[in-house]
Amino acid sequence: MSAKIPSSEITPKHAYLTRRDFMKAAGLAAGGAILAACATPPAPTPAPSNPQSGKTDERGDPANTYEDITNYNNYYEFTTDKEGVARLSQNFPTDPWQVEVTGMVRNPGTFGLEDLIKAHPPQERIYRLRCVEAWSMVIPWQGFPLASLLRAVEPTSAAKYVRFQSIYQPQNMPGQKEPWYPWPYQEGLRLDEAMHDLTLLATGLYGGELPAQSGGGIRLVVPWKYGFKSIKAIVKIELTDQQPQTLWNEIAPHEYGFYANVNPAVDHPRWSQATERRIGEFSRRDTLLFNGYAEEVSHLYADMDLTQNY
């Protein structure tokens, strides 16, 4: 693969529906969604979500609505207010978008989003997303396995980890003007976790483009780990032989480990992880080991004590 795919090869982006048209097309009522507050500390009982799309995950759980998914977000580069991210990010430029892939690879390069989509055609993946704060959603992403990109850039035999870095753009991201976070946001995976077929680079949501508040241009989705591992607005992917530093681990190492696998038996130091609030539901659910993906991923951790490697 060439180091840089020429922009002349960019495919015309398919005509996305505007959000309102999309909502109509999907038969969803615009507005009317009353969003649940984060369940920690316990919040008042939320109203149910607005009408569902008919999409479900593999367990039969209904997908949250587009309104839910795009109006209740964790995105500290904009604000710590989950219901304020959509407004503050509405003019954030996600197109054009480029990702640099570098470090211990044979074919490093900088790739435009359209070129990535052309080389790795997106597929729909309906995943549960479980935030470390004990709320969850079911989200229909479009994306491609990170493994597909990694195979193309060919990690060298020395590479053991993948480091991800979000965009740093304080002029457009008011939260990055706050000095108390070590920007840019960064995350990491072990190489075998990164190569797992469930690990997705998401480029779309509900059949449309990936809105800024959901991590557009492109984000990671690692469904068996707490949501903070699913880093948004990625501009750099680096193969390395060192375990990467991560933003939350740097701030609070005893609260947010490198692995961050969803585990009902390992509590956060300040709250229980045994149950969770699915946004749009009345009562709490039991948290599932590896967020319900144990069959697919538990072999990755066969030799590890998950209470120590949290």
Q: Tell the smallest beta-carbon distance from residue 17 to ligand MTE (Å).
A: 20
Among 75, 97, 144, 258, binds ligand MTE (CB under 6 A): 75
Q: Would you count residue 39 as binding ligand MTE (CB under 6 A)?
A: no
Q: Tell the smallest beta-carbon distance from residue 234 to ligand MTE (Å).
A: 8
State how far the Cα of 186 lies from the Cα of 168, in Å rounded to an integer. Answer: 11
Q: Tell the smallest beta-carbon distance from residue 52 to ligand MTE (Å).
A: 18
Q: Would you count residue 231 as binding ligand MTE (CB under 6 A)?
A: yes
Contact 72, 82 (CB under 8 A): yes
State how far the Cα of 173 lies from the Cα of 257, in Å rounded to an integer. Answer: 26
Q: For ligand MTE, which stretch binds (CB under 6 A), given 60-68, 73-81, 277-285, 301-309?
A: 73-81
Q: Would you count residue 233 as binding ligand MTE (CB under 6 A)?
A: yes
State how far the Cα of 131 lies from the Cα of 141, in Å rounded to an integer. Answer: 17
Q: Would you count residue 120 as binding ligand MTE (CB under 6 A)?
A: no
Measured from the Cβ of residue 178, the count of other Cβ atoms closer than 10 Å reads: 13
Q: Would you count residue 74 as binding ligand MTE (CB under 6 A)?
A: yes
Contact 211, 87 (CB under 8 A): no
Comparing C-alpha atoms, which of 125, 107, 132 is closest to residue 199? 125
Binding mask 130-159 for ligand MTE (x = CB under 6 A): -x----------------------------
Q: What are phi and psi of 109, to 5 degrees?
A: 180, 170
Nearer to ligand MTE, 214 or 249 (CB): 214
Q: Would you count residue 166 as binding ligand MTE (CB under 6 A)?
A: yes
Assigned token pair, 28:
């969803």
Q: What are phi and psi of 188, to 5 degrees?
A: -160, 155
Q: Tell the smallest beta-carbon distance from residue 278 to ligand MTE (Å).
A: 13
Q: For ligand MTE, which stretch binds (CB under 6 A), given 31-39, 50-58, 69-77, 296-304?
A: 69-77
Measured from the Cβ of residue 162, the count of other Cβ atoms closer than 10 Å reads: 26
Number of residues that bind ligand MTE (CB under 6 A): 17
Instruction: Specify the residue for token string 């435009």.
Output: 112
| 300: three-class secondary structure by DSSP | helix
Q: Tell the smallest beta-carbon distance from residue 2 to ligand MTE (Å).
A: 29
* Cα 193 to chain centroid, rounded: 15
Q: Which of residues 209-228 bind ligand MTE (CB under 6 A)?
A: 214-215, 227-228
State how far the Cα of 220 lies from the Cα of 233, in Å rounded to an integer. Answer: 9
Q: Tell the smallest beta-carbon distance from residue 107 to ligand MTE (Å).
A: 26
Q: Applying CB under 6 A, which residues contact ligand MTE? A: 73-77, 129, 131, 166, 185, 214-215, 227-228, 230-233
